[in-house]
Amino acid sequence: MNYNKITITNEPRIELHDALGLTGAEISINTLPAGASVPFVHSHKQNEEIYAVIEGKGYAVIDGEKVVLTAGDWLRIPPAAKRQFFAADDAGIKYICIQVKENSLQGYTMTDAVV
């Protein structure tokens, strides 16, 4: 078999690294109910994070700056930036976080495809 497939459930946080056997990224699916937040501020040593808001609304505080987020928004945060995520008071937020080593991409789509 040359693929891995899983079906996700409706948990508050799902990490796909182990479940899919990922070797170049960590991907998590995160859900915060209205008024909730990630309970800590964090940064990374080497990994940038790409966030895709897939439902709801909320905001992130990045290096002290509030960034409003709604469904359809994408956000890239470099490793050293301090970040924390919050759901809006009146709505939850669901987002995907993709974590990869900064500056590690050597090819993409057409430059990496073999036809």
What's the predicted TM-score (pTM) here?
Answer: 0.90
Q: What is the pLDDT of residues 68-80, one digit of tens each?
A: 999 999 999 999 9
Give 110 or 85, the one with higher predicted confidence.
85
> Please, which residues bridge with residue 67 across strands?
60
Question: Is the pLDDT score of 110 beyond 90?
Answer: no
Q: What is the pLDDT of residues 98-107, one digit of tens each?
A: 999 998 888 7
Looking at residue 28, what is its pLDDT?
95
First-to-last C-alpha distance (Å) of the chain: 21
DSSP secondary structure, 50-94, as one string: EEEEEEEEEEEEETTEEEEEETT-EEEE-TTS-EEEEEBTTB-EE
